Amino acid sequence: MSHSTIALALHGGAGTILRETMTPELQAQYQLGLQTALDAGYAILEAGGSAIDAVAATVSSLEDCPLFNAGRGSVFNHIGEHEMDAAIMAGNNLACGAVAGIQGVRNPVQLARAVMEETEHVLLIGQGAQTFAQTQDFPLQPASYFFTQQRFDQWQQALQEGRVQLDHTEKKFGTVGAVALDIRGDLAAATSTGGMTNKQFGRVGDSPIIGAGTWAANDTCAISCTGHGELFIKAAVAHDIHCLMSYKGLSLQEASDLVVLEKLVKIGGEGGLVAVDAQGNISMPFNSDGMYRACKSSGREAQVLIYK
Amino acid sequence: MSHSTIALALHGGAGTILRETMTPELQAQYQLGLQTALDAGYAILEAGGSAIDAVAATVSSLEDCPLFNAGRGSVFNHIGEHEMDAAIMAGNNLACGAVAGIQGVRNPVQLARAVMEETEHVLLIGQGAQTFAQTQDFPLQPASYFFTQQRFDQWQQALQEGRVQLDHTEKKFGTVGAVALDIRGDLAAATSTGGMTNKQFGRVGDSPIIGAGTWAANDTCAISCTGHGELFIKAAVAHDIHCLMSYKGLSLQEASDLVVLEKLVKIGGEGGLVAVDAQGNISMPFNSDGMYRACKSSGREAQVLIYK
């Protein structure tokens, strides 16, 4: 079986993203951020690199862009800090790593990768994960690195209104993620998030939960989700799509549409996901107004999309 | 459809539990601990109580018993503290709650239940979850409450040998859990653990991960796992059994045996689980030498078992 096909898909969050409320300048900035991340990962795949390297590079690029709620652009929590979660998974051996509730790390996805590659563990959380980052020589960024006026204003507004927000003043689920198929036929997925504006109590959503927000298995698909995390956990979204393909023989498109457009809708689970299968088919369903997304695969034009 | 059947199954951990290394006195203590927990939950079911109440009572009883690695009997982490994880899930509406990396709470399963019932969230971690416990008036226990000489000695030994242990001096996966079917046909599952002796870096296993160590859905089954958590996460054990029943039509026994005795064995994932389906069938497969376990259902004698 030839595996000459390569494919990459990414998202930068889903939610109430409407053409009416977007300025041309801001839209161009989002498109540039998505394109830059797409190019970073796709170049690796084109050069024969691994799917894991590609999703790590793509997600790192999105984490470095202050527009997206992950890494640098992470929202403020209740006490004015940035708590981030991330996960990564390799489809060839189900190796996976995740971190939750970490602070100061520029690229949480790379810390998740270090958990996968340098430890016997899958999930490290909080202060302990922080200590691990230091043993791995991850430089910690000062709080100023994560400061953006927009996020600060959102936090102040949420504080005043006593709200916990899923990203922006509108209903947006800020998360970034990527999935890839490399030239060897290996799949990989990665997801990263800054969580909810004004969040309290160490809340963690689906992003770092293997099987909920992130999943990759070579025999089925790689998936990265974005949406109302609690409902994505209850629906075990990523692993459910894997099982629908593996046990019911559904195609990637059928399985991901069923979960996102029917099962999640039924429980009020707003959001979407990006997915790729072993043949390089890409699926990017969402049940919200919009989802920042982009994809490219062998022989096809790159797509950079925001609205329905 | 009549739902007169009730059923409860519980575990107190799996691993290298051998008759040869057990004293009659210790065995009697374990049996008493298991029987007490079984009675606590079954009495609730017999009185027409809910599956959620039953699993919470059973797991709380196991958490209060210093023999098991959860609650009071939790192992020491690398810095001599006790970090605990727990989850609970209701099969009738997929409501779920979980906590990870918490300290000082007598019954982590009850804190997980408070997350499920009193918040919009599923998973709270670390210091944040601690703060949440205080807002819910959970009294925090002093470190002395969690002190047991045996766990302290295990920690000291592990420290000296530079090992991270999955419970005892032998290879044991200390976790407790319960599953139940109530008279209304509702299923529930709960799991609680003190993690690994000498663990570092805020490591979290499968216990608090919905879909990995804990799962309940009325149309299929309720499951609580115990074992090498990292591999149970990779295999999405609990949700995989749900999908094998839902999508392939396997029985509870077939699905749980396939996952525990074949799929987990293939990836070196030692451990087991307890499971119950909507008809009150109970399955308690494990691929280790032993698993502390007990069960009782309508019209059947109670079973309290340790070895193969």
CB pairs under 8 A between A and B: 147
User: Which residues of B touch chain A, with CB atoms under 8 Å apart?
Assistant: 94-96, 100-101, 119-129, 131-132, 164, 200-205, 209-212, 215, 229-230, 233-236, 239-240, 243-244, 247-248, 267
Give the Cβ contact number of residue A71 at 10 Å: 30
What integer pLDDT is reported at residue A165 of this predicted model? Answer: 58
Q: Coil, strand, or helix at residue A277?
A: strand
Task: Look at residue A216 in the predicted model and tell me its pLDDT.
Answer: 98
Does the active-site annotation cover A175? yes
- pLDDT level of residue A21 (50, 70, 90 thresholds): confident
Q: What are the residue numbers of the active site of B?
A: 175
**For residue B159, how many C-alpha atoms fall within 13 Å in the half-sphere facing its CB?**
12
pLDDT for A150 equals: 87
With respect to residue B1, please indicate whether it lies within any of the assigned structural domains. no
Q: What is the pLDDT of residues A51-100, one digit of tens each?
A: 999 999 999 999 999 999 999 999 988 889 999 999 999 999 999 999 99
Looking at the partner chain, which of A101, A201, A239 has a beta carbon nearest the beta carbon of B211? Answer: A239
pLDDT at B8: 98
Q: Mind listing the pLDDT tens digit for each residue in A134-171?
A: 999 998 999 999 998 988 988 888 888 877 655 444 46
Q: Does B126 sit within 8 Å of A127, measured CB to CB? A: yes
Domain membership flag for residue A251: yes
When CB atoms are compared, the residue of A125, A201, A243 closest to B247 is A243
Residue B168 confidence (pLDDT): 42
Give the closest of B132, B202, B233 to A210, CB-based. Answer: B233
Instruction: Find which of B81, B122, B223, B240 to mutate to test the A interface (most A CBs within 10 Å of its CB).
Output: B122
Is A94 a member of any domain? yes
**Confidence (pLDDT) at B21:** 83
Nearest-5° angle of CA B125, CA B157, CA B196?
Answer: 25
How many CB atoms sit inside 10 A of residue B72's CB? Answer: 22
CA distance B138 to chain A (A): 14
Q: What is the pLDDT of residue B3?
A: 58
pLDDT of residue B1: 42
The torsion angles phi and psi of A287, rounded to 5 degrees, stand at: -110, 10
Whether A94 and B234 lie within 8 Å, measured CB to CB: yes
Q: For strands B123-125 and B96-102, give the pairing.
A: parallel
Residues of A in contact with B101 (CB under 8 A): 125-126, 128
DSSP B234-290: HTTHHHHHHHHHHHH---HHHHHHIIIIIIHHHTT--EEEEEEETT--EE--BSSSE
Q: What is the pLDDT of residue A168?
A: 42
- pLDDT 10s digits, B40-76: 999 999 999 999 999 999 999 999 999 999 999 999 8
The answer to whether residue A2 sits within a structural domain is no
B259-291 tens-digit pLDDT: 999 999 999 999 999 999 999 999 999 999 999
CB contact under 8 A, A120 and B234: no
Looking at residues A1-18, what average pLDDT do you find? 86
Does B113 map to a domain? yes
Rounded to the nearest angstrom, the minimum Cα separation between A138 and chain B is 14
For residue B182, tell me if it sits in a domain: yes
* Residue range A221-242, pLDDT digits in tens: 999 999 999 999 999 999 999 9
CA distance B33 to B48: 24
Determine, yes or no, domain membership for A1: no
> Do the Cβ atoms of B13 and B213 come closer than 8 Å?
no
Q: Domains in chain A: how many in total?
A: 1
Supply B156's token pair.
């000291």
Kind and range of the H or E element at A40?
Answer: helix A24-46
Q: Are A108 and A208 in contact (CB under 8 A)?
A: no
Q: Is the pLDDT of residue B170 over 80?
A: no
pLDDT 10s digits, B126-145: 999 999 999 999 989 999 99
Instruction: Compute the CA torsion angle A209, A213, A214, A215 (nearest 10 deg).
Output: 100
Percentage of chain A with pLDDT > 70? 96
Please, is A149 exposed, middle or buried when counting C-beta atoms within 10 Å of its C-beta (0-12, 13-18, 19+)?
exposed
User: Which residues lie closer than 8 Å to A181 by C-beta, 6 or more apart?
Assistant: A5, A6, A7, A8, A45, A51, A187, A222, A276, A277, A278, A280, A297
Interchain CB distance below 8 Å, B121 and A201: yes
Asked if the model's pLDDT at residue A256 lies above 90, the reply is yes
Instruction: Give the CATH number for residue B26.
Output: 3.60.20.30
The answer as to whether B2 is a domain residue is no
For residue range A25-50, what is the model confidence (pLDDT) as tens digits? 999 999 999 999 999 999 999 999 99
Indicate the pTM of the whole model. Answer: 0.96
Residue B200: predicted pLDDT? 85
Q: Answer yes or no: is pLDDT of B212 > 80.
A: yes
Give the residue numbers in A contacting B (CB under 8 Å), as ranges. 94-96, 100-101, 119-129, 131-132, 164, 200-205, 209-212, 215, 229-230, 233-236, 239-240, 243-244, 247-248, 267
Question: Which residue range(s) make up the domain with A259?
Answer: 7-307
Regarding an ipTM greater than 0.90, the answer is yes
Closest-CA distance, A31 to chain B, in angstroms, reads 32
> pLDDT at residue B161 above 50?
yes
CA proximity to A241, closest of A189, A192, A298: A189
Tell me the three state secondary structure of residue A105. Answer: strand
| Average pLDDT of the segment spanning B195-224 | 95
CA distance B300 to chain A (A): 33
List pLDDT tens digits, range A279-293.
Answer: 999 999 999 999 999
How many other β-carbons are positioned within 10 Å of the β-carbon of residue B230? 23
pLDDT of residue A169: 42
CA–CA distances in Å: residue A267 to residues A131, A232, B94, B96, B219: 38, 10, 10, 14, 16
